[in-house]
Structure 1
Amino acid sequence: MPEITLLDKMRLPFGGQEVEFQHLTHEAGGVPFLRIRIRENKRFTIFDVDPASAQQWAELMAAWAREHAGDKP
């Protein structure tokens, strides 16, 4: 069984989805993963993201957020 540590969670304001960020390590070792768990009503979507992909994803999201920080909904 992998060891899962909750890092943070948030609720999105417009869709109400609950997003959890978890650190995932396997007993046998190997690459750690960032688990992103999205709950929408009774439906779950889970992504296990490796460090390189997490870095790319984070950079893309940060750039988008900077570009649109002043936009009105």
Structure 2
Amino acid sequence: MAEETLKEIAELELPFRRRARIREVSYPSGLRMVRLVLMEGKRITQVDLDPDTARQLSAILATAADGAATDTVQ
């Protein structure tokens, strides 16, 4: 597996004793991803997002948090 460089961006305490970490992941090739790590007890789910997908997710979450979410699934 390629060597990756991690930069911690944020760690959030979530409801029901869960946590989320957001990291920037960089590879020697120049590839950059945003890594979302969700932790629930011993269970860990890790998702790497390209910049465009991270922006889309950010916009969807902001809309949902403002109470303007729609029933449309993309």
What TM-score, normalized to structure 1?
0.84
What is residue 60 of structure 1 aligned with on the other side?
A: 60
Displacement of 1:52 in angstroms is 0.4
What is residue 33 of structure 2 aligned with on the other side?
A: 33
Secondary structure of 2:38's counterpart equals strand
Which residues of structure 1 form unaligned runs of 5+? 69-73
- Could you list the structure 1 runs, at least 4 aligned residues long, displaced by more than 2 angstroms after superposition: none
Displacement of 1:11 in angstroms is 1.0
CA RMSD of aligned residues (A): 1.2
Give the paired residue count.
66
Which residues of structure 2 form unaligned runs of 5+? 69-74
Percent of matched pairs sharing the same residue: 23
